Amino acid sequence: MLRIETLNKSYGDRAVLQDLTLHIPPGEVYGLLGSNGAGKTTTINIICNLLKADRGTILIDNQPVSNATQPLIGIAPQENLLYKTLTCEENLQFFGRIYGLRGRSLHQQVEKCLDAVHLASRARSPVETLSGGMQRRMNIAVALVHQPKLVILDEPTTGLDIEARYEIWELIRTLQQQGITVLLTTHLLDEAERLSSRIGILKGGRIVAEGSMEQLRQRIPAQEIVIVETADEQQAIARAQAHGFTERRYGNDLAFWLPEPLELQEIIARFDGITLKSIARQPVRLEHIYIEVTQAEP
């Protein structure tokens, strides 16, 4: 559905995209991760034909990016596109007409999109009366009104409470079930981990790691991660290294990578004689992989 080949874009002397290559097949939810300035927004703007690349190619449904490919794309940006004094129904009618929908087909699409985001009962409510979560769902409805093949969701749950996040997550899963291709950008790593078929980590304008969670976990030689709290950190580190554990810091937490899974009593026994205030086990998560990849030397 989306093929990006050796895409390059610079602003003056600053290279934002450097030979970016990315392939997303139909029906996949692809999570694109990266820090601010990594090139996510520039990539989206080029896909949407709002910005020209310096070099490289983009194909959407096997067509080069142009005005003709814009109807194939639906985008829900970070900032809601909604007219707050208009009703939900009126917003969808307005954006549907921009894409050339008229008459019965427009009416059907408005109803379908309101149903899809579970806002049919609020069709005649002004957007300004909706909760933040409802407004984000309406923003996605606008992206769907013209039946695009590729939907770009840019930070779709930023600022929402957990219940509203869950509602958006369920909507994204529904889009995938319907065969819609989704490009998801998010700073919430648990969101990307739960929703994405594959994940690409963008750094310095290029993909530095990509794959399913199972594939990405192979980048860390650990079966489990143990977080240890102790006043004798240097002694704990020396002991852990003697047992073949790799030391890492996650914020203020002292962590060790375990090359093989161990029972809790076995782990505690490895630190025998060292006073431990607490010890916690956790699986290798996307946050650990992301930190490892993005903090590695170029």
Architecture of domain 224-294: 2-Layer Sandwich (3.30)
pLDDT more than 90, % of the chain: 96
For the stretch 94-109, pLDDT in tens is 999 999 999 999 999 9
Check: pTM over 0.85? Answer yes or no: yes
Tell me how far the alpha carbon of residue 168 is from its chain's centroid: 13
Question: How remote is the C-alpha of 7 from its chain's centroid?
Answer: 20
- What's the pLDDT at 31? 98
Q: Read off the pLDDT band of 58 (50, 70, 90).
A: very high
Specify whether domain 2-214 bears CATH 3.40.50.300: yes
Which pLDDT band, with edges at 50, 70 and 90, does 89 fall under?
very high
Q: Domain locations in the chain?
A: 2-214, 224-294
Spell out the long-range contacts of 136-139 with Cβ–Cβ below 8 A and sequence spacing 24 or more. 136/76, 136/80, 136/160, 136/164, 136/168, 137/167, 137/168, 137/171, 138/80, 138/82, 138/88, 138/91, 139/76, 139/77, 139/80, 139/81, 139/82
Question: What secondary structure does DSSP assign to 24-81, as a single string?
Answer: E-TT-EEEEE--TTSSHHHHHHHHTTSS--SEEEEEETTEESSGGGGGGEEEE-SS--
Q: pLDDT tens digit string along 207-265?
A: 999 999 999 999 999 999 999 999 999 999 999 999 999 999 999 999 999 999 999 99
